[in-house]
Every structure is written in structure tokens, then in C-alpha cells.
Amino acid sequence: MKENTFNPNTIAIPNGNYFALPYSVEEAEMVLLPVPWDVTTSYRSGTHKGPKAMMDASSQIDLFDPLVPNAWEIRIGTLPSLRGVAKINRVVRKAAEEVIEALEQEREPASYAHALSAVNNASVALNDTIYKITKTQLEKGKLVGIVGGEHSVPFGLIRALHDRYPSFGILHIDAHADLRCAYEGFLYSHASIMYNAIQLPGISLTQVGIRDYCQDEAKIIQSHNNIHCFTDQMIHRMLFEGATWQSICKEVIEKLPNHVYISFDIDGLAPDLCPNTGTPVPGGLSFREADYLLHTLALSGKKIIGFDLCEVAPEAVRQGVLTSEWDANVGARILFKLCCYAHLNRPPFC
């Protein structure tokens, strides 16, 4: 790519890359891997459409950021979407729906064992594929971001990062704690991603915006020395009683170790910003609160080693009417912020 042929001030031409940037995977400093997967979503599906919808929306973003000089020069490459994964997702999603229906009807486990095994085997295969792809990119010195899809899909990247950084922290922005053990029998459920992550030795978890979780998850949070949870209720009580968002962000970041992975579930935002996500919950962060937290982390001196953005469901049919793609618009802008601040936090790439 000859950089002088790209004009960030004119109309973007979609080219199969996020933000319609001209950088190849080979010359990129960071790469994004789209994963169109929503097999284990437990309320409503649609997040498999998120990666493509965000790519389409991303070409509408003006590539100027006053906090990140020459943001358009960040060498962001886009890896090919996983071959065949969309078809596998459709097939295995039907098996997952069979399991969920059987559980709701309180049927005997033997009646849905085959379907459950199909889901778990497919999830293991997906995790292994993502692990291999992202490990290869990390070995080339790239920073890697996952674009989901449901929130189960970053586990392969988290494993690959754990090979390089035996000890790191996860900044987890979400409405849900995601600390359920094999939720609905799915070993790699979207509701189990953080439970699975903390089984890796040396991983700590700092959660922000959590507001929908069960008693078992509360017990895990309370009993685990490496989990720090800033619930939505806690955050807003602090704000109502005079704390500033700046002071809260400082407290959050102080809980993080020197190496930080960001896991961003879009439903950590207020639901007016992500109305079509699988499990929207009242409350949540504003766009600017999330932006300020991420930027503050980038300037903190702690190293961002990777990130994911998940659970964007761009559209849905409500009473026969197709809703807008507002979710994809917001998701694409959060994705751009994650890329910009990861770059700002990173030493010069050669």
C-alpha cells in the first residue's frame, strides 16, 4: 500500500477492511478477526451478523480523532472471516435451540445429549481455530482484536495471549458477569466466557457495568481475590453521592495489572445504544463514559495486549418491521476507539 494514494478526507470505498482502510494484514500493526458466531445465545440471536454490519457501518466513520493524531495512519488490517463458520453457525444453532427447548420442557438429558455434544464439539473446534490464527499473528508482533459474534468467541485469543503473558488482567465491560459454569450445558457459552478465562492461572478480572447476574456468580465475585467488580448500581451510587467519573475510572484502572486485555460486550452500554443486542439490560454506560475509561487506560502506562468487541446484533424484525442498524453504527465507533487507544498505548510499530 502506498499511503499517499489514500485520502482520509474523501468518501470511503468499501474494500473488505474495517474502516475501509488500505492496509493489508501483512503490513498492519494490528489485525481484526471477524467471527460471525452466535450458537449459544440464550435469549435472542442475531449477533452473528455483527461483524459484517460493523464493517459496513465503519466506512461511514470520519477517520479523525482529536485525541489520536493522524488516526487514519494506524495500520489496521482485517483478517478473512473464518471459512465456513457462518454455515456451521446456522447448523449448530439449531442444535443449541433443541437443547434450550428441552431444558425449558424439563426433558431427560438423554433426549438432547446428541445436540448438546454437537454444540460443545463445534465450540471447541472454533476456539482451537481462533487460537491458532491469533497465535500466528501475535508471533508476528501484531496486536489482535476479535470482532464478534457472541461473547464466547474471544476465548481462543485469550488462550493465545496467555501463552505470551502468563499473568494479565481483563478489563471486562458488560451488563452480565459471564461467570456461569457451562451455562445450559454449553461448555463455551456466551455466559461462561469469564468463568473459563479465570480458570487460566494468572488471569485477573476487573468488571465494569455489571447489572444482571445470579447468586452463584455473586458468590464467585465475593470469594475470588482476583475479581474486582464495579457493578452498575455501585458506579451510579458513587456518582449520585458526589464521586466523579474520573475518580471512578482511576479506581478501576488501579485494580488492573500492568498487562491488560479489554473484553467489551456492547450490552455494557445503555440499551438505547444497543437495542438489538441479545440480552439488553436497563442501566449501563454512556458512549462518552466508555470512551473516557478506555482513553484513561490507554494513557495510564499499563499495556493493552489485545481486545474484543462482542454481542452487536445489528438488526431484528419486530412485528414484521425491520429495525435500523443503529447498533452497528455504535459498535463500529466503539471498535474504532478500541483500535485508536490500543495504538496510542503501543510503542512505534516497524
pLDDT in tens, 182-193: 999 999 999 999
Region of 327 (left: φ > 0; alpha: ψ -120 to 50; beta: rest) is: alpha
The pLDDT of residue 350: 40
R_g over Cα of the chain: 19
pLDDT value at 127 more than 50? yes
| C-alpha closest to that of 317 among 44, 111, 97 | 44
Residue linked to cell 495486549: 305
Number of other residues whose CB lies within 10 A of the CB of residue 92: 22
The third-level CATH classification (topology) of the domain covering 3-9+28-344 is: Arginase; Chain A (3.40.800)
Q: Are 49 and 315 in contact (CB under 8 A)?
A: yes
Spatial distance between the Cα atoms of 158 and 345, rounded to a whole number of angstroms: 19
Q: Where are the domains of the chain?
A: 3-9+28-344
Q: Are 314 and 54 in contact (CB under 8 A)?
A: yes
| Residue 319 pLDDT grade (very low, low, confident, very high; cuts 50, 70, 90) | low
Spatial distance between the Cα atoms of 328 and 342, rounded to a whole number of angstroms: 21
- 209 Cβ neighbours under 8 A, 6+ residues apart: 173, 174, 175, 230, 231, 232, 235, 268, 269, 283, 284, 285
**In the numeric block, which cell numbers belong to residue 276?**
438489538
Q: What is the mean pLDDT of residues 98-127?
A: 95
Q: Are 187 and 126 in contact (CB under 8 A)?
A: no
pLDDT value at 349 more than 60? no
pLDDT tens digit string along 243-259?
A: 999 999 999 999 999 99
Amino acid at the residue 171: L
Terminal Cα distance for the chain, rounded: 15
DSSP state, 82?
A: P
pLDDT tens digit string along 258-272?
A: 999 999 999 999 999
Q: Are 66 and 25 in contact (CB under 8 A)?
A: no
pLDDT value at 83 more than 90? no
Q: What is the mean pLDDT of residues 199-210?
A: 98
Which one of 11-20, 151-160, 273-282 scores highest in mean pLDDT? 151-160
| Residue 46 pLDDT grade (very low, low, confident, very high; cuts 50, 70, 90) | confident
pLDDT value at 321 more than 70? no
Q: Are 30 and 142 in contact (CB under 8 A)?
A: yes
- 139 Cβ neighbours under 8 A, 6+ residues apart: none
Spatial distance between the Cα atoms of 185 and 181, rounded to a whole number of angstroms: 8
**Angle at which helices 287-298 and 245-254 cross, to 10°:** 50
